[in-house]
């Protein structure tokens, strides 16, 4: 259910997915949905952000922990994203971006959730950067650049319907 919602939001944007479609696809009836998400679609959005945020956070963690350099870590990560993106038919954009565009700053809850997820990702990256000898400030800066390049590349990949932009991220972030 959360998985379905996440995929749909990524593909069509938060407002582009109707609750009915969502429930049809995931097979859940409306009553059940509002049992688990009494605050409706907004709460579901928060939940998918949390869900996708944790999942992707784990991916980042895994790539960085097993790599010998930032460059290698990012290369691996982007390869994974690119593969998934390709397999999804060039539809699976960043789960955060989909909601950020449609709901920030309209919904306070979603805005906060979006910010939290993004901060979480950056914190992981910064942690590893700091572990490799960068100062706290430099690590933060590195993480911010990573986030920018990641989001930008992901969006351009969607626009061009190609995974090529994703491959530039590592280069853009580690060259300094």
What whole-number distance in Å separates Cα of residue 139 and Cα of residue 147?
12
Out of 6, 9, 10, 17, point to the residue binding DNA (CB under 7 A).
Answer: 17
Please compute, for residue 64, the number of CA atoms within 13 A of its CA located in the half-sphere on the CB side.
Answer: 22
Of residues 18 and 131, the one with the C-beta less far from DNA: 18
Does residue 101 interact with a second copy by CB under 8 A?
Answer: yes
Q: Which residues, 6 or more positions from 93, have their beta carbon under 8 angstroms from its beta carbon?
A: 10, 11, 85, 154, 155, 157, 158
Does residue 153 interact with a second copy by CB under 8 A?
Answer: yes
Out of 10, 41, 158, 163, point to the residue binding DNA (CB under 7 A).
Answer: 41
Of residues 36 and 65, the one with the C-beta less far from a second copy: 36
Out of 2, 11, 19, 101, point to the residue binding DNA (CB under 7 A).
Answer: 19
Does residue 28 interact with DNA by CB under 7 A?
Answer: yes
Dihedral of CA 165/144/124/13: which sign?
A: negative
Site for a second copy in 118-137 (CB under 8 A): 118
Are 117 and 100 in contact by the 8 Å Cβ rule? The answer is no
Are 12 and 88 in contact by the 8 Å Cβ rule? The answer is no
Q: Which residues bind a second copy (CB under 8 A)?
A: 12-16, 89-91, 93, 96-98, 100-106, 111, 114-115, 118, 144-145, 147-153, 155-156, 158-161, 165, 168-169, 172-173, 175-176
């Amino acid at each position: 259910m959360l998985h379905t919602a996440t995929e749909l939001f990524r593909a069509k944007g938060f407002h582009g997915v109707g609750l009915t479609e969502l429930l049809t696809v995931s097979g859940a009836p409306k009553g059940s949905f509002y049992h688990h998400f009494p605050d409706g679609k907004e709460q579901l959005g928060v939940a998918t952000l949390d869900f996708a945020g944790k999942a992707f956070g784990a991916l980042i963690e895994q790539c960085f922990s097993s790599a010998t350099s930032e460059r290698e870590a990012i290369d691996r990560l982007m390869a994974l994203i690119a593969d998934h993106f390709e397999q999804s038919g060039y539809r699976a954009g960043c789960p955060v971006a989909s909601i950020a565009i449609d709901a920030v700053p309209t919904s306070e809850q979603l805005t906060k959730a979006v910010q939290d997820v993004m901060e979480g990702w950056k914190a992981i990256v910064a942690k590893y950067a700091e572990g490799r000898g960068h100062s706290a400030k430099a690590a933060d800066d590195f993480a911010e650049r990573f986030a920018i390049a990641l989001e930008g590349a992901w969006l351009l990949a969607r626009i061009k319907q190609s995974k090529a932009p994703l491959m530039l991220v590592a280069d853009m972030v580690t060259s300094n």
